[in-house]
Amino acid sequence: MTETFLNPIKTRLAEGKLCLGAWLMSGTPVIAEAMASLGFHWLCVDMEHGSADISQVEAVFAAAERYGAAPMVRIGALDGDLARRLLDLGTQGIIVAAVEDAGRFKDFAAHCLYAPEGRRGVGLSRCNRWGDAFEEYKTNFRPVLVPMIETAAGIEAAAGLAALPMVDALFLGPYDLSSSLGCAGDFTADAFTAAADKVRAACKASGAALGIHQVTLDPAELKGRLDGGFTLVAYGTDLLAMRHALSGVRDLAGTI
């Protein structure tokens, strides 16, 4: 079968369709495979707060792809060199933590795009089947690029970020953002809802998708996010899901 290398998540976001993702804090392929098998559209390896390193992500990507989940990563800074390596290993998208400046993000994005759009280095690697599909990949593939809005400064930069042509979505990091606004963990506070509305308006004006990490494993809260216009949504994490499933053991052990 001939591969087109068109990015499925980029296509879904452009069409306004829901992209529901899983969030991987560990670097374990078997956990990645188990999560991907549940039907998520994408699986994000957290390289800011998680335990995975560059040597583990290739196996995680392969595990996700086996079940049709697009592999993505969250990185902790605008690190163009790291982004290039992750793209060569096969990531379909990069989410960058705490972005506060559209100009700096545009410069970062150039590392993710081949010339003439950017300055990504050319290599024969996993992303292009070690050169067997080089031209198809180079011609057709474009990564999903997503700045996270996690600070008051990021809110002020939201309109400029959303207007960048290579930006597919803005992604709210609710805990960091609420902390930056002085209402840590309170997503009903006026400051937080006003900030979210400002990001929502920036996305609507530019056509970018609106994203968020729904950290708590609460289906009703997840539905609220979807009803609120979020289309790039990460739900829970692997480790939180495990702890949630086993949360009664402490009380049970105390009764035996």
**Residues noted as catalytic:** 49
Q: State the sign of the Cα–Cα–Cα–Cα dihedral 236, 239, 241, 243.
A: negative
Please list the alpha-helical segments (H only) found in the chain.
8-14, 29-36, 54-66, 80-89, 102-110, 134-140, 152-162, 174-180, 190-206, 219-227, 238-245, 249-255
Structural contact between residues 146 and 94, judged by C-beta atoms closer than 8 angstroms: yes
Exposed, middle or buried: residue 234 (CB in 10 Å: 0-12, 13-18, 19+)?
A: buried
Q: 62 is written with which tokens? A: 């392969």
